[in-house]
Amino acid sequence: MTTLGVNIDHIANVRQARKTVEPDPVQFAFLAELGGADSITVHLREDRRHIQDRDVFLLKKTIKTKLNLEMAATPEMLEIAKKLLPDYVTIVPEKREEVTTEGGLDVKGNVKYLKDFVENLGDSNIEVSAFIDPLSDQINYSKEIGFNFIELHTGKYAELSGNDQYEELQRIIESTHVANDLGLIVNAGHGLNYNNVKKIASINNMNELNIGHSIVARALAVGLEKSVREMKSLITPN
């Protein structure tokens, strides 16, 4: 069964717009869990534009599910992860000027560095995922590097429509099969919403979907617990 990871970065975005103490993403993580979230995802960025160090350490202490720490493969983030000991880390590409993560990590072009980085996290018993585009060479190199998971970037699928979206869906399905054959656990995320999530959730052996923006946007109308519950019902077989 596909599980749901809820990204609460956008709660912190609202807080940081005023540099104040509310809304507190730690409190909203509790509501997400009440709604059925199977894990909580946060991206601790180099520029600390939303999630702060305080948030991740409090989340680690208070959530009842799992903590997925998204981060760039930098020495600073490595040190934080080894102190925090999240349930798993997802390595993502990061550019200061981007609004949100654009595209997947180039594991093929950074094999040696990423292999050492992943081994270092593994020494602290932290499982590691690579956020990558649904491309066979990136999947193969993820396996070679030693990642435990991959998270397939679904942004292109979310942006397309009609036959183009169908072709991208087939690429994601095939990528999932390739990764499974290599022994990799497959997650997916980026741009998924209440209209396009079901086809991704129905892919055989899709482990978890990480969704944030659409759930938080829906929560503005109906509340976070209900918005998570609605998304959970869409990805859970009847």
Q: State the catalytic residues.
A: 43, 70, 190
Beta-ladder partners of 71:
91
Residues 218 and 26: beta-carbon distance below 8 Å? no
DSSP string, the chain: --EEEEE-HHHHHHHHHHTSS-S-HHHHHHHHHHTT-SEEEEE--TT-SS--HHHHHHHHHH-SSEEEEEE-S-HHHHHHHHHH--SEEEE----TT-SS--S----GGGHHHHHHHHHHHHTTT-EEEEEE-S-HHHHHHHHHHT-SEEEEE-HHHHH--HHHHHHHHHHHHHHHHHHHHTT-EEEEESS--TTTHHHHHTSTTEEEEEE-HHHHHHHHHH-HHHHHHHHHHHHS--
